[in-house]
Amino acid sequence: MTQKIIILDFGSQTTQLIGRRVRELDTFCEIMPYNKFPKDDPSVIGVILSGSPYSVHDPEAFKVDLSQFIGRIPVLGICYGAQFISNTLGGRVEKADSREYGRANLETVDTTNPLFRGFEQHSQVWMSHGDTITAIPADFEVVGSTKDVVNAAFASTKQPVWAVQFHPEVFHTIQGTQLLKNFVVDICGSRQEWSAASFVDSTVAELKQQLGQDRVILGLSGGVDSSVAAVLLNRAIGDRLTCIFVDHGMLRKNEFQQVMDDYKVLGLNVIGVDASEKFFSDLEGVTEPEQKRKIIGRDFVEVFNAEAKKITDARWLAQGTIYPDRIESLNITGKVIKSHHNVGGLPKEMHLQLCEPLKWLFKDEVRRVGRQLGMPEHLITRHPFPGPGLAVRILGDITREKVRILQDADDIYIRGLRDYKVKLSGEEARKVLAAGVPAQMQDGEIEVSLYDQIWQAGAILLSTVRSVGVMGDERTYENPVALRAVTSSDAMTADWAHLPYDFMAKVSNEIINKVRGVNRVCYDISSKPPATIEWE
């Protein structure tokens, strides 16, 4: 039986991050709405209560019946989770005089307590709360304090219950991984059996049993999720998997042929379909972003279905759905708040069953599985790319010439990011290594490309804007290109990447000199929120 940690989600932006940190400890975990604890699941070895945007005193605050698990299995409350435990069990939570946000140091910490074994005094933690715990419940004791927060961490003296007002899951809490390891491994007793290798072995066996001798169809996008799903299925059922890769004409420069060549090397059975004429024709004159997306989505389904129907004996449709796709499509009440292209029902006329071999994995785990499967690194580390392709990176209507301009500019930008190497140390190096980037630490430093530091990057053609320029002795009146690069862990929030000035100067100069139709390059320094990663 696979052991699991249940993370009850009270609406925190970092709930997924808790899940990723637990998985990094080779332990399976499942994120569930705060009110959906699985009471009769013997595989649950511990519970973590997440943070929340609410105060425990808000009328709409989320509440859970603690008696379902307290006294039965170990419990860890984080931020709101800690305040909820205190408030429910007889402690006191009050509005802080000032919001406690940012770095703090544990001035005192009880390193004899199981949760803090291996901790150093004055270890840095990250606070983010408006309320504070002014009194802890009876039969609890303080095990960690900061200068301003006396009850920063406390533990029951009678039951396996711990609570911390800081966030151990974020990088700014220097020994956060140690704390989570102490809880998950030492306190809950995880056997640490969840790994890329174990996932591949168990999933291949499950797929063989689930699919039998049936034929499966998979829509490839060239991205890491669908590619890893394809290689995993290929290992399980071989040539009974048929992949379909649709070219809508708005991929990156030379991407269609490059991806087809990659898939051939991987031994996949792939049908490549050049449907660009249909897409360009149907998009002619369309400028409204949502309409563009709808047309491309509709056309993709039509083209894909037409190819899929030729495979008359297919019984299954496989998708590269990953765990965050499913989490983001439901809020903590279980209601749909955002649809995802990989989540939902199948077209009725296809009469196919759904197969989602990656549905329990986070993005960084998908990459680890890809490496375990022996896939080439350039496929594994590819940045996310929007389904509608460059159509949503061109402001205004779509033409082949505009796509050509943007493909050329984007190609220069992405190649530049891959070629530019930087040395990192300390917290920056820890972040990159934790994300799974293959790099070796030497003398406290690692060397990686700018591309590997960034979550997503691309160029945007402002084709609705023209600007005056001078090239040689001639006046030009052409389009600007905006460059976008963001850092993120899950794309729910993102910050603009602080790229080196010499890199920006080189890339700008090369784009303007080599790409006909562009005479100005800008850099987007907007974060998400309030902006989005893509422009449309």
Active-site residue, selected from the candidate residues 24, 100, 129, 167: 167
Per-residue pLDDT, 440: 76
Establish whether 290 is a catalytic residue: no
Active-site residue, selected from the candidate residues 169, 307, 478, 536: 169
- Residues 463-491 have pLDDT tens digits of 998 888 877 667 788 899 999 999 887 67
- Residues 365-417 have pLDDT tens digits of 999 999 999 999 888 989 989 889 999 999 999 999 999 999 999 999 999 99
CA distance 318 to 384: 19
Average pLDDT over residues 123-147: 91
Biggest CA-to-CA distance, the chain: 83
Q: How many residues does the chain have?
A: 536
**Token pair of 477, please?**
């009146």
* Cβ-based neighbours of 437, under 8 Å, separated by 6 or more: 381, 448, 452, 453
Establish whether 79 is a catalytic residue: yes
Nearest to 169 by CA among 45, 359, 33, 5: 5
Active-site residue, selected from the candidate residues 79, 188, 243, 355: 79
520 near 467, Cβ under 8 Å?
A: yes
Establish whether 248 is a catalytic residue: no
Average pLDDT over residues 15-40: 92
Q: In percent, how much of the chain has pLDDT > 70?
A: 93
Q: Binning pLDDT at 50, 70 and 90, where does residue 348 land? A: low
